[in-house]
Amino acid sequence: MSTPVGAGRYAPSPSGDLHLGNLRTAVLAWALARGSSRAFHLRIEDLDRVREGAEQRQLEDLAALGLDWDGEVVRQSERGAAHRAALDALTAQGLVYECYCTRREILEAPSAPHAPPGAYPGTCRDLAPAAREAGRERMRALRREPALRLRAGTDAWSVQDLWAGQVHGTVDDLVLRRGDGVVAYNLAVVVDDAAAGVDQVVRADDLLSSAPRQAYLAHLLGLPAPSYAHVPLAVNARGDRLAKRDGAVTLRDRFDRGESTAQVMGRIGDSLGIPGCGTAADVLTRWDPASLVREPWVVELPD
């Protein structure tokens, strides 16, 4: 058996059961990794809300569809030392500063020309010492830490995506550590992917705009940026992003409606233009990535 070159991954948050869109993305991440002789890793991104028992159910559901993975499951909450080391490395380069702004203040602040809504306008970037001390006093009164932001040296960065092509995206002074002291997603995901040898990131395309920021951050840390493949979202009949409130959208929901694992995989296969799938292995052997439809997958389910 040949040794895997590089790795792909799937990284769910344990906030609840995976819905059909999540499962479809996981199957595609697995198929692209296995089809290119890569290893495939699972990482639980548990820095935010965690629902008891969700991680185990997610792992069981992925296995039920026929997915396997290499090595132990990694939990992001156990990677704190590596995250802090990366933050220290950026601080040593003079690329980190404290931010005292609230979310509302950022949203209401005038943005730079052509910047997307919510992009950080640089309010705290070059404050005078007295203003910084006033900001720290304000944070102490609020009983929270200042957020730590990246002092970005560019306002844009480019990445290559398997389906979207070259993406030239905005880079702002993104948060590296939040005001509650928790490392921010953009830093954690870059550090954790690099540590696992992940060079192929497959995920939903609502995260496509994050890829240039993350690739730029990897560049600053001297880490290799992965290749990207962003999968169209699953949506409900109204065109809204699929969510658990849309009804029986999880694997266990479908089981409760009398469907088998093979029938659920058949739905995923149909969405990819390969009818008759019963396991993830069918997707691996029959799916041509070049054929992926770029429109969202409209999930229509009987009651």
Q: 1-10, 126-135, 161-170, 266-275: which has the minimum mean pLDDT?
A: 1-10
Of residues 109, 96, 34, 25, the one with CA closest to residue 70? 34
pLDDT digits (tens, 9 = 90+) for 142-160: 888 999 999 999 999 999 9
Structural tokens at position 45: 């991104």
Q: Beta partners for 177?
A: 148, 183
| 205 and 65 assigned to the same domain | yes
The domain total for the chain is 2
Residue 175, token pair as written in the block? 């948060």
Among 158, 265, 273, 292, CA closest to 212: 158
Residues contacting 258, CB < 8 A, separation 6+: none
Please report, in range form, the residues annotated as the binding site for L-glutamate.
Answer: 9-13, 45, 185, 203
pTM: 0.93
Cα distance between residue 231 and residue 229, in whole Å: 6
Which pLDDT belongs to residue 107?
80
Where residue 11 sits, what CATH number does that domain have? 3.40.50.620
Q: State which of 141, 156, 186 marks the end of a domain.
A: 186
Region 66-87 average pLDDT: 97
pLDDT digits 0-9 by tens, 174-191 = 999 999 999 999 999 999
Q: Is residue 2 part of a domain?
A: no
> With 90 as the cut, is the pLDDT of residue 244 above it?
no
Domain coverage including residue 133: 81-186
- Provide the pLDDT confidence category of residue 3 given band limits of 50, 70 and 90: low
User: Which residues make up each annotated binding site?
Assistant: 9-13, 45, 99, 101, 120, 124, 185, 203, 244
What does pLDDT average to over the chain? 93
Q: Does 2 have pLDDT greater than 90?
A: no
- pLDDT score of 193 more than 50: yes
Instruction: Report if residue 1 sits inside a domain.
Output: no
Mean pLDDT over 285-297 rounds to 94
Are residues 173 and 235 located together in one domain of the fold? no
pLDDT at 53: 95
What's the pLDDT tens digit per position in 44-74?
A: 999 988 999 999 999 999 999 999 999 999 9
Last residue of a domain, one of 186, 207, 224: 186
Beta-bridge partners for 156: 170
Same domain, 277 and 148: no
Res 113: pLDDT: 56
In a domain, 259, yes or no: yes
293 lies in the same domain as 163: no
Q: Does residue 245 carry a pLDDT above 90?
A: no
- Shared domain check, 51 and 30: yes
Q: Rounded mean pLDDT of 110-125?
A: 74
CA-to-CA distance for 128 and 141, rounded, in angstroms? 20
- Scored b (16 or more CB within 10 A) or e, 51-64 reads eeebbebbbebbeb
Catalytic residues: 244
Residue 303 lies in a domain: no
Q: Verify that 72 and 23 share a domain, yes or no.
A: yes
Residue carrying structure tokens 């309010």: 123
Q: What is the CATH number of the domain that holds 138?
A: 3.90.800.10
